[in-house]
Structure 1
Amino acid sequence: MSLEEPLFLNSIVTDLFSPNISRTDSNNTSTATEHSMLYPCGIAITTVYGIIIMVGLIGNITLIKTFWTVKSMRNVPNLFLSSLALGDVLLLVTCAPVDASRYLTDEWLFGRVGCKLIPFIQLTSVGVSVFTLAALSADRYKAIVTPMDIQASNPTVKICVRAATIWMFSMTLAIPEAVFSDLHAFSIAETNETFVTCAPYPSVGDLHPKIHSMASFLIFYIIPLFIISIYYFFIARSLIRSAYSMPAEGNIHIRRQMESRKRLARMVLVFVALFAVCWLPNHVVYLYRSYHYTEVDTSLLHFISSVCARVLAFANSCVNPFALYLLSKSFQKQFNKQLCCCRPPRIIRSQSRGRSSTRVTSLKSTKPSL
């Protein structure tokens, strides 16, 4: 699942657009052709990354600010969503620019330390995302299926401890990524080209890539989503039973409470679906590469699939705030206030000044008549 795999971008461009150019006879012409075709493609992809980073940072930072400054919105789901947004911000600030730079240059620019640190941060962020979604599903299960359980005296402290535990657990699982990621040499048989890049395993042997890709797929995708599916199975069953057992003229307060819990459950389910859709292509491409490791695929289809999978995976880090904006009217209102925090006071002041001036003029105008 690592995003630090070689892309073979130059070889793909050369094989697709200039197959008649010989590297041995005209190296200068070949290099110039590669760069003339590679640079516009890299600029376009990097621009997409820049848009994702900018939109994601605005949305997630505003979400965190909203939940921590508005006291009425500091409930259990929103605290978990703040932790989720913090992981997305970390991914967008560190890993997304590094991944975008790989489309502009053939060389790894961040040294051996960066080669170990960047995959560690990326895997930590992915772990925080999927495990936080599992914790949110468990919280919705408790709120809907077992609502009569005694709540803790300090729920905010308890949720912060659980969020910190998720972060520590994700960092622990990402330690092997930092240990084994290193600068490795890769070669392309079609062009007899050798280059050094950051990868989570050496180019010799295919057992390590298979184990790495399958373990990542199970730990960070299949198992958490399976647990979430079990939670939502019991949530759906409980909601169906309560709908049949509730009388037609039931308590209005109970009905409103049930509707609120349903909305929160749907919101978490939307976040889970977004994560599943955005990260599945990246896992599929990584599994394909791992099980065809000795054969470097330089086809256009593989290149487009890889780029789309990477972009979609990073896009998951910027869609959650805007999905919440569409699903929650209360968050929509507070989100707008945080983005336009300086405009309302100016409008109010101008209105108050206008009113005071009209009052003064009315008094002056009535004074002669009195």
Structure 2
Amino acid sequence: MALSNLSSYLDAVDNYSDYPDYSYEEPGGVATAPSHQPKDAARILSVVIYSVSCVLGILGNGLVIAIITLKMKKSVNAVWFLNLAVADFLFNIFLPINIAYTAMRYHWVFGTVMCKLNSFLLILNMYTSVLLLTTISLDRYVSVVFPVWAQNHRSTGLASAVCLLIWSLGVAMSCPALVFRDTAQARGSVICFSNFSLSRNGSQRAEALLRHRMVNVSRFLAGYVLPITVITFCYVAIVLNLRRNRLAKSRKPFKIIVSIIVTFFLCWSPYHLLNLLETEPDGIPRSVFEVSVPLTTALAASNSCMNPVLYVFMGQDFKKFKVTILSRLVNALSEETGHSSIVHRSFSKMSSMTEKETTVL
């Protein structure tokens, strides 16, 4: 492909994409020597974040998977946490590819098929994780607000069926990565990017921009706005219900709830907001994307290693429990802890049994 055609081609597809693809300069441009310090600093910091997330994610999520499958009796909580850990673990396994890509100044050496598959699995992790977290929130909401219904209908079979539906939805919503991700030569490097024009000649700029907007807006709505709205509603309802029924005797539940929601916002908000800005690249300097996309993507990726901490370890009071990490994990994942204890207490209260102190999450 001629350099002039490649230039128009890259312009036409608006190649700001889901993952950092900024290894090249515009072919045919004026030879200048701009400072690349911010861009390089962002790239190096991204490699560090990816590496830490990869190590912690594989260890943390791998430990959760091992404990649930080998040490625990099957329960609804175990089904939720197992699927969440598997989604994050899959993501972490493929993180070394992104680490290598970023460390090599965004030079893709793994081929077009792996470019598509890698991006597909990364987006699949995003959807399955956020849908699972939303489902966990709904499950806790139902268990607290409708304890009688939950006691009669909440089962591992239903939880497994819901998880199968979540994985199916995640696969369907991640398919655009298989369609649009592509590789191309650019100034001696190979980039893995989103080819929304589905061509190599730059003749479909309007169609490419429309596809880009549709993919990014739908991802913003389905992968961020709707889940965070449901999650926030569920936990607000849980807090109000606990206060009204005086089931919570400390501020600890509120701290855990706030930490979950705030961490979700911190990790995913910059990523999704930048995705929206990508649909209007002409109004924003290219340098902004070159620095911001690697950092926001790495920040979103770091959420996969934080989940074991947020949804498992923070559910236990480390100052009171003088036990091993393994015991803490078993206690946190057990059906006897978390919102199931609230259900048990609700039934005990309705049966005029002695009410005992409990915790949330």
Equivalence for 1:363: none
Give the share of equivalent positions with the same residue, in percent. Answer: 22
| Alpha-carbon distance, 1:156 to partner | 2.4
Deviations 1:60-104 (A, max 9, x none): 1112222333336x5433431221111111111114532551341
Equivalence for 1:157: 157
Q: Is the CA contact 1:62–1:335 (under 8 Å) kept in the aligned structure 2?
A: no
Q: Using the alignment, how far apart are the partners of 2:49 and 2:323 within structure 1?
A: 29
Equivalence for 2:314: 326
Equivalence for 1:51: 52
Kindly indicate whether residue 282 of structure 2 is the aligned counterpart of residue 279 of structure 1.
no
Equivalence for 2:123: 123
1:237 to 236, 240, 248: 240
| Alpha-carbon distance, 1:158 to partner | 2.6
Q: How does 1:65-214 map to 2 (within 5 A)?
A: 65-71=66-72, 74-95=74-95, 97-98=97-98, 100-149=100-149, 151=151, 155-183=155-183, 196-202=191-197, 204-205=205-206, 206-214=209-217
Q: Using the alignment, how far apart are the partners of 2:238 and 2:38 within structure 1?
A: 53
CA RMSD of aligned residues (A): 3.9
Q: Is the CA contact 1:145–1:238 (under 8 Å) kept in the aligned structure 2?
A: yes
| Alpha-carbon distance, 1:140 to partner | 0.8
Q: Using the alignment, how far apart are the partners of 2:240 and 2:143 within structure 1?
A: 14
Q: Using the alignment, how far apart are the partners of 1:5 and 1:208 within structure 2?
A: 17
Equivalence for 1:308: 295
Are residues 268 and 237 of structure 1, via their aligned partners in 2, closer, same or farther at CA, if it must alter by over 3 Å?
A: closer
Q: Using the alignment, how far apart are the partners of 1:37 and 1:137 within structure 2?
A: 39
Q: Using the alignment, how far apart are the partners of 2:280 and 2:196 within structure 1?
A: 14
Q: Using the alignment, how far apart are the partners of 2:76 and 2:153 within structure 1?
A: 13
Q: Using the alignment, how far apart are the partners of 1:265 and 1:78 within structure 2?
A: 23
In the alignment, residue 89 of structure 2 is paired with which amino acid?
V
Kindly indicate whether residue 219 of structure 2 is the aligned counterpart of residue 216 of structure 1.
yes
Q: Is the CA contact 2:137–2:231 (under 8 Å) kept in the aligned structure 1?
A: yes
Q: Any runs of at least 4 consecutive aligned residues in structure 1 with deviations exceeding 6 A, and if so which?
A: 36-41, 262-266
Of residues 307-316 and 270-279 in structure 1, the stretch that sits farther from structure 2 once superposed is 270-279
Q: Using the alignment, how far apart are the partners of 1:71 and 1:238 within structure 2?
A: 30
Deviations 1:120-156 (A, max 9, x none): 1111111111111111111111111111126358822
Q: Using the alignment, how far apart are the partners of 1:226 and 1:241 within structure 2?
A: 22
Deviations 1:176-226 (A, max 9, x none): 321232235779xxxxx9975321523633222222211110010001111
SS, match of residue 274 in structure 1: helix
Q: Is the CA contact 2:144–2:241 (under 8 Å) kept in the aligned structure 1?
A: yes
Are residues 312 and 287 of structure 1, via their aligned partners in 2, closer, same or farther at CA, if it must alter by over 3 Å?
A: same
Q: Is the CA contact 1:185–1:197 (under 8 Å) kept in the aligned structure 2?
A: no
Unaligned regions of 5+ residues in structure 1, if any? 13-20, 25-29, 188-192, 244-254, 340-370
Unaligned regions of 5+ residues in structure 2, if any? 1-15, 330-361
Kindly indicate whether residue 17 of structure 2 is the aligned counterpart of residue 7 of structure 1.
no
Q: Using the alignment, how far apart are the partners of 1:298 and 1:130 within structure 2?
A: 30
SS, match of residue 183 in structure 2: strand
| Alpha-carbon distance, 1:276 to partner | 2.4
SS, match of residue 56 in structure 1: helix
Whichever of the two has the greater Rg, that structure is 1
Q: Is the CA contact 1:181–1:200 (under 8 Å) kept in the aligned structure 2?
A: yes
Q: How does 1:25-40 map to 2 (within 5 A)?
A: none
The alignment covers a number of residue pairs equal to 301
| Alpha-carbon distance, 1:37 to partner | 11
Q: Using the alignment, how far apart are the partners of 2:253 and 2:68 within structure 1?
A: 15
Q: Is the CA contact 2:126–2:223 (under 8 Å) kept in the aligned structure 1?
A: yes
Are residues 179 and 271 of structure 1, via their aligned partners in 2, closer, same or farther at CA, if it must alter by over 3 Å?
A: same
Are residues 305 and 215 of structure 1, via their aligned partners in 2, closer, same or farther at CA, if it must alter by over 3 Å?
A: same
